[in-house]
Amino acid sequence: MDVNKTPSPFRVMCREIYKDKLAFCSLIVFFTVLIGVFIWAALLDTSEVMRQHLLRGNLPPSREFWLGTDSTGRDTFNLLILGTRNSFIIALIVASITSVIGIVVGLAAGYYGGHVDNVVMRLIDFMTMIPTLMFIITMTVLLPNTIRNFGLILTVFGWTGMARSIRMVSLRQGVMDYVKASKTLGSRNIVIMFREVLPNILSFTIVNLTLSIATTMGIETGLTFLGFGPPPTMPTLGLAVANAANPLAMQLRPWLWLPAALVILVMVLCINYVGQAIGRAADARRRRV
């Protein structure tokens, strides 16, 4: 057994998370919440949860309704379960798609450099100059209010940060000896990018992906609070927090919005703490190499 063998990125990442007690606890809390939410949501009848019962509107928490009911008589706890599941799925899908786009664009810009890099960076600069929030709101108004269109709009503006970060790392990797050796051996550029360069920046990519999930959840919540989120027929955490816009509900009915706000806070903090630990693992592995 070679004791000097460099540990795999996954082992370094697991070791760093285990050493960081806050990140380790955050990971446990995060997956415990997700597993519980997805199991409970699978047992619910969505159409029944969304059905309105006006005669039991605005009931306080009780044995029957753990978190009370909203103004239309729907069970707030079940809405919270469905909203947490839907918000996480939206954030995961959007963050994954934007990460893939950002990785491909960033790798191409950093690896090829020159004119390719100039074109990509000018495009990214143009995208970042656009007032993103106002443009997203405008697009949500102009396009039909569907979850597909909402995800598409977030994707259009979400890939630039990942692309810029991957491009910066790829520029440093492009001058490494292993890349020069692969070029000398006649390997194709696309093979070098995805078989040689990408594995060496995988930890960095995972960090950005985890943070993108937290960012996307925050954006979805903010847009929904402003009234420009997914369709109202689809429960999300943002839709629950939007109840705080009503001064009466804000003061007298905290069960309508406070649990959702706490779930968002806990999930975002957990993702950030785990992402920071993964980032330290990536730095530790680079120092070992």
Return all residues near 119 (Cβ < 8 A) that are at least 6 apart. none
Distances (CA, A) of 183 to 78, 175, 202: 57, 11, 21
Does residue 214 or residue 279 have the better pLDDT?
Answer: 214
Q: What is the dihedral of CA 273, 279, 283, 285, to 10 degrees?
A: 100
CATH number of this structure's domain 10-39+74-286: 1.10.3720.10
Give the Cα separation of 170 and 168 in Å (integer).
6
For the chain, the structural domain boundaries read 10-39+74-286
Give the Cα separation of 232 and 11 in Å (integer).
43
> Which has the closest alpha carbon to 161: 223, 213, 89, 226?
213
Strand partners, 188: none
Task: Please report where in the chains the tokens 């779930």 appear, as a residue.
Answer: 263
Residue 26 exposure: Cα atoms within 13 Å on the Cβ side: 21
Q: What are phi and psi of 76, to 5 degrees?
A: -65, -35
- Write the pLDDT tens digit of every residue in 191-205: 888 888 888 887 788
Supply 30's token pair: 């995060």
- Write the pLDDT tens digit of every residue in 52-91: 888 888 889 998 999 999 888 999 999 999 999 999 999 9
Structure pTM? 0.87
Size of the chain in residues: 289
Angle 258-288/76-112 helices, nearest 10 degrees?
30
Task: Please report where in the chains the tokens 């069960």 appear, as a residue.
Answer: 255
Give the Cα separation of 266 and 272 in Å (integer).
10
Does residue 179 or residue 37 have the better pLDDT?
Answer: 37
